[in-house]
């Protein structure tokens, strides 16, 4: 019997989950065994999974799960170097030239396990079957707007935390903007036609920010893109890959510009294809923005688990998208899962 083991997230500030109790019930009804770990932080309570009929396991007990269990989580595993013998479904951040990803792939090779990277679960056309993109863009735009607001009083963005709903987030940002004695900023969003860019644009427009929306057509020339520097806020909403243009070069730090706040939702600072090379490390919930230049000011927001600011909405949305694919877990040798395994093999072969 196929056995899906939903682990607790061990990364700080991570309350999301990729399977709801309703989804778990659908898997159980199909004959897939579902174990869900207890979690001290998960936004969706364990009682719903228990009522659905799931087996309940101790928090963080996945290393001792049966060898045939498929371990399902979202964010990174603890970086303890231990071999990984199981099959894992998660965001590995290991296939796009990220230097930190090599260590993860070596752990899979040492343990004999397999990574089904959530970013590489794609249909026959190459489109991802599920993505947190909309809420990543929405939350990323919110924190970048907070970064811009903080600049107006000469400060850096204050720590951020979980919001119980998007309405709470909008109320908080609205209060921030109402306190200003200056005109609203304008913003440019690259990747505006995608999920991430749509989320970013929706948040900004809801709060009255004028948004210039760019996508592939506007960036096909490969740059440079002086228009970016003539906006207060720039949101990078495309994922880095070979051939991605540089949107904000290092020279922009000292250039004549209006731009003061960058939101890099893709957040691949250690990728060889980083399109925003003015910074080199992700930011955190405690320090949401890093100042990369003082005069004129330039701050970068690059939190890499942005949807966690809205864990309920983002979990429900993502789980609904992913469920049809999880329902095919009993046939890993075909379709989405076969393609994902092929990606893992390809990127691991030279280790």
Of the residues 75, 88, 166, 231, only one is catalytic, namely: 75
Strand partners, 164: none
CA dist 239 and 235 (Å) reads 12
CB 163 within 8 A of CB 172: yes
Of the residues 3, 25, 30, 93, only one is catalytic, namely: 93
| Cβ neighbours of residue 74 closer than 8 Å, sequence gap 6 or more | 9, 14, 16, 17, 18, 90, 91, 118
Strand partners, 72: 6, 89
DSSP class of 156: P
Instruction: For the chain, list the strands marked E by DSSP.
Output: 3-6, 33-37, 55-57, 70-72, 87-90, 114-117, 186-190, 210-214, 233-236, 261-264, 289-294, 297-301
Our answer to whether residue 93 is catalytic in this structure is: yes
- Euclidean distance between the first and final Cα of the chain, in Å? 32
> CA torsion sign, 87 to 93 to 95 to 98?
negative
List, as one string, the DSSP characters of 172-224: HHHHHHHT-SSPPPEEEEETTTSHHHHHHHHHHHHTT-EEEEE-HHHHTT---
CA dist 81 and 75 (Å) reads 16
Residues serving a catalytic function are: 75, 93
């Amino acid at each position: 019997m196929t056995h899906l083991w939903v682990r607790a997230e061990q990364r700080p500030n991570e309350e999301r989950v990729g399977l709801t109790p309703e989804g778990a019930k659908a898997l159980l009804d199909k004959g897939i065994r579902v174990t869900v770990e207890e979690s001290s932080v998960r936004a969706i309570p364990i009682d719903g999974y228990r009522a659905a009929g799931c087996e309940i396991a101790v928090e963080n007990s996945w290393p001792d799960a049966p060898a045939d269990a498929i371990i399902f989580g979202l964010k990174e595993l603890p970086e303890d170097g231990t071999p990984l013998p199981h099959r894992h479904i998660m965001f590995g951040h290991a296939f796009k030239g990220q230097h930190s990803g090599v260590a993860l792939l070596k752990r899979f090779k040492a343990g004999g396990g397999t990574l089904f990277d959530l970013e590489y679960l794609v249909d026959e056309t190459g489109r991802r079957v599920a993505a947190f993109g909309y809420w990543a863009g929405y939350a990323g735009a919110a924190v970048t707007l907070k970064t811009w607001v903080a600049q107006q009083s000469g400060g850096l963005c204050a720590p951020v935390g979980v919001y119980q709903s998007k309405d709470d987030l909008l109320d908080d940002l609205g209060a921030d903007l109402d306190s200003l004695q200056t005109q609203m900023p304008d913003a440019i969003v690259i990747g505006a036609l995608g999920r991430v860019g749509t989320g970013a644009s929706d948040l900004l427009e809801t709060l009255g920010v004028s948004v210039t929306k760019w996508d592939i057509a506007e960036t096909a020339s490969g740059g440079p893109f002086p228009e970016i520097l003539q906006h207060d806020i720039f949101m990078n909403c495309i994922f880095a890959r070979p051939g991605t243009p540089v949107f904000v070069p290092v020279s922009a730090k000292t250039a004549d510009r209006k731009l003061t706040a960058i939101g890099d939702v893709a957040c691949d600072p250690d990728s060889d294809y980083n399109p925003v090379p003015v910074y080199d490390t992700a930011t955190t919930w405690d320090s949401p923005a890093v100042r990369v230049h003082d005069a004129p000011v330039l701050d970068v927001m690059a939190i890499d688990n942005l949807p966690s600011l809205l864990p309920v909405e983002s979990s429900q949305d993502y789980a609904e998208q992913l469920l049809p694919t999880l329902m095919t877990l009993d046939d890993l040798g075909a379709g989405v899962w076969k393609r994902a395994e092929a990606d893992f093999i390809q990127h691991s072969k030279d280790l």
